[in-house]
Chains A and B, each alone.
Chain A
Amino acid sequence: MLPSVDVRFRNMMKAMQEVVAPAIPADQKLAQEQVRLIVGHLTMLKDQWKDAVRYEAGSFRMMRELTEALASEVDDEQAAGLRAALAQVADIDIYDIDALNAGICAVGAAVDKVILGEEGSKPLPRGAWDVILAYGEKDALRSRVWFKGNGIDPDRDKLPPLETVL
């Protein structure tokens, strides 16, 4: 496509840094801060956009796998609820990022319901804790890698390459 997305990102960043930022008066702290944040977000977006659908498809796949694993650890009624949620998202278009988001929300809500176990009245078996924690560790690692560019993660230098977690 012409002009390419990469070129447009680069040019927006250039304009923010070379035109907008110097034009902001020294006493306009909020505006200065916003420019720095916008450039920061654009820098991350420039590096993320090509993989955004793949990342979200991976998130959806992981949530589905968690739901399947959880269904085999909880009682029949809870398992039925989880499987019903999975059935609802069986035909999702995995190239549509909005559909993927909606799918994550639908299945995730069913998972949350099982975790809360009707306000703690239903026990959560040890096997369920294990599968959720395993999911949580993987999900956290992916998120930290995806947003490594924000510079906040204290262990960002030890994170694996993005390709390994997509």
Chain B
Amino acid sequence: MLEEEVREVDGKAFADPWDRNAMDPRQKWVLERTLEYRRKGPYRARTSDEIAAMLERYFDHLGYKDARIENVRRMSGGASKEQFIFDFAHAGKPESEKLVLRMDPPEGISQSCRGREAQLQNAMIGTLPVAPIRHVDADAEILDQAGSILEFVSGVTEPTTSGAKGVSGMGTRFDDIAPKLAPQFVDAFVKTHGLDWRSKDLSLFARPREGTTDAGLWELNFWSGLYWNAIVEPVPIITLCERWLRENIPVCDKVGVVHGDLRIGNFMFEEPSGQFTAILDWELGHLGDYHEDIAWTIQRLFGYLDDKGQFLVSGFLPREEFLEKYQRLSGNAIDPAKLRWYEILNAYKCAVMDLGQAMRVAEGHTNHQENVMTWLGSAGGVFLEQISNMIREEL
């Protein structure tokens, strides 16, 4: 537990909202490691041959005899990780199997810890469909870069007939298959937030105290830390947003698992059944307030308008229907004031990623996809508008 000065009001505990050190220690480590990686300078995308050689060394180190790595192919997508699919065989199991390497470039649009992601993903096995993680090298002790080895899961993130091919799943339309996916989508939130996390190995996660402002403050401190370390050009509305957030941090009454990026593009399903095969991208997962996930997924950018002009959350359900179903199935009440704080925090996070971290990465060439960084950066104005509108409504 982190020790902070705490102010008591009406039985609730409020930490100093300007205490920038109040943060999950592993998240602080992520910020420090980001600066270390940045100092190493430009990064070049690894070739398939380089990846194969690195994996052979890795499996050899793990004790596999006669490890054979074949058919290394880079997977598309991803604004923060490099992913490769490959066939793996060894003396103990000569018939090959498909595995996935998920590896950190030095920097991405967001920064995270492969060890936390692995713990959380494995904690969800049996609760939600996830790709089990076989091995993790969170500190790049053996792999050239921090990474994890996952079992391959088949499925698609968007209908194969979809004409829309947006960056990171944005712009995807589900149309006819939406009724099959929508209940599973809501269920993913219910089960994530309902996980009995205290019984799982989540040793890389600090636990914010219930009945305090820890959950919000820790998140805000991580993202503002990322921003101030990355800033290329000042954006006054981002700074104003930080001030508003610090002055209005809500108390978290129930601490649970937060996925952090559960939305369109981050789940896989089979066609034509529509059965979910995996919930993806747990890298931003943490212990916190469920309002954060709900506020994230109802963002305009992650949904679209139907033929009647009605906004559909991630292309599935109207906002109010989504909120009603979630509350009924989870038993978690949505507090409009908390939801609003997390909506503003999430817009802030997006602005930090697009106009802070992505710009720094593009300038320093510390990623394999700088063209994605600047593409996403060019969307920053969308979040600045949302921040301005929401703060004005709250004043």
Contact A139 B237 (CB under 8 A): yes
> Which of the residues A120, A126, A136, A154 comes within 8 Å of B304, measured between beta carbons?
A154
Given A104-B234, A116-B243: A152 touches B372 (CB 8 Å cut-off):
no
Q: How far is the CA of A37 from the CA of B79 in the complex (A)?
A: 13
9 sampled A-B residue pairs with Cβ under 8 A: A29-B74, A33-B77, A33-B369, A44-B378, A116-B243, A126-B395, A137-B388, A137-B392, A154-B382
| CB pair A147 B381 closer than 8 Å | yes
Let me know if A139 and B384 touch, CB within 8 A: yes
B133-159 contacts to A, CB under 8 A, are none
In angstroms, Cα B299 to Cα A152, docked, is 13
* B interface residues, tally (CB under 8 Å): 46
Instruction: Given contact pairs A30-B45, A109-B234, A126-B395, enumerate 14 new A-B contacts (beta carbons under 8 Å).
Output: A30-B74, A33-B77, A33-B369, A38-B371, A115-B239, A129-B395, A132-B236, A136-B237, A139-B381, A143-B381, A150-B379, A153-B382, A154-B301, A154-B305
Residues in chain A within 8 A of chain B (CB atoms) = 27-30, 32-34, 37-38, 40-41, 44, 63, 66, 101, 104-105, 108-109, 111-112, 115-117, 119-121, 124, 126, 129, 132-133, 135-137, 139-144, 146-147, 150-154
* Residues of B bordering A, CB below 8 Å: 17-18, 45, 73-77, 166-167, 170-171, 233-237, 239-240, 242-243, 246-247, 300-301, 304-305, 368-369, 371-372, 374-375, 378-382, 384-385, 387-389, 391-392, 395
Closest chain A residue to B385, Cβ basis: A140
Query: Nearest chain B CB to A43's CB is how many angstroms away?
Result: 12
B234 touches A136 (CB 8 A): no
A144 B372 Cβ-Cβ under 8 A: no
Contact residue among A29, A40, A115, A152 (Cβ-Cβ distance under 8 Å from B76): A29
Please tell me if the beta carbons of B368 and A30 are within 8 angstroms of each other in the complex.
yes
Would A150 and B237 count as touching, CB distance under 8 A?
no
- Residues in B with CB closer than 8 Å to A136 are 236-237, 240, 384, 387-388
Contact B247 A115 (CB under 8 A): no
B391, A147: Cβ atoms closer than 8 Å: no
B236 touches A32 (CB 8 A): no
Which A residues are CB-close (under 8 A) to B371? 34, 37-38, 41
Please name the 9 residue pairs, one residue from A and one from B, whose CB atoms are nearest each other, closest first. Answer: A108-B234, A143-B381, A136-B237, A29-B76, A140-B384, A140-B385, A147-B378, A37-B371, A144-B381
Interface pair B17/A120, CB less than 8 Å apart: yes
| Chain B residues in 8 Å Cβ range of A120 | 17-18, 243, 246-247
Interface hub of B242, B247, B380, B388 (most chain A Cβ within 10 A): B388
Q: How far is the CA of A119 from the CA of B374 in the complex (A)?
A: 31
Q: For chain A, what secondary structure do more than half of its interface residues adopt (helix, strand, loop), or is it mixed?
A: helix
- B375 touches which of A28, A40, A116 (Cβ 8 Å): A40
Docked Cα-Cα span, A69 to B247, in Å, equals 23
Chain B, Cβ-Cβ closest to A67: B236
Q: Chain B contacts of A147 at CB under 8 A?
A: 378-379, 381
Residue of B nearest to A137 (CB): B388
Of B75, B236, B379, B382, which is within 8 A of A111 by CB? Answer: B236
B236 engages A112 (CB within 8 Å) = yes
Are A133 and B392 CB-contacts (below 8 A) given A30-B368, A140-B381? yes
Are B243 and A124 in contact, CB atoms less than 8 angstroms apart?
yes
Inter-chain contact A37/B234, CB cutoff 8 Å: no
- State how many angstroms separate the Cβ of B246 from the closest Cβ of chain A: 6
Residues of B within 8 A of A133 (CB): 237, 240, 388, 391-392, 395
- Candidate in B378, B384, B392 with the most chain A CB atoms within 10 angstroms: B378
Known: A27-B73, A140-B384, A143-B384. A150 touches B233 (CB 8 A): no
- When chains A and B are docked, how far (Å) is the Cα of A108 from the Cα of B301? 28
Q: Name the residue of chain B whose CB is nearest to the CB of A124.
A: B243
Chain B nearest Cβ from A106, distance in angstroms: 9
Chain B min CB distance to A42 (Å): 11
B73 contacts A135, CB within 8 Å?
no
Name A142's contact: one of B240, B243, B381 (CB within 8 Å): B381
Nearest to A38 among chain B residues (CB) is B371
Taking CB atoms, residues of chain A closer than 8 Å to B395 are 126, 129, 133
Known: A108-B235, A133-B391, A141-B381. A115 touches B240 (CB 8 A): yes
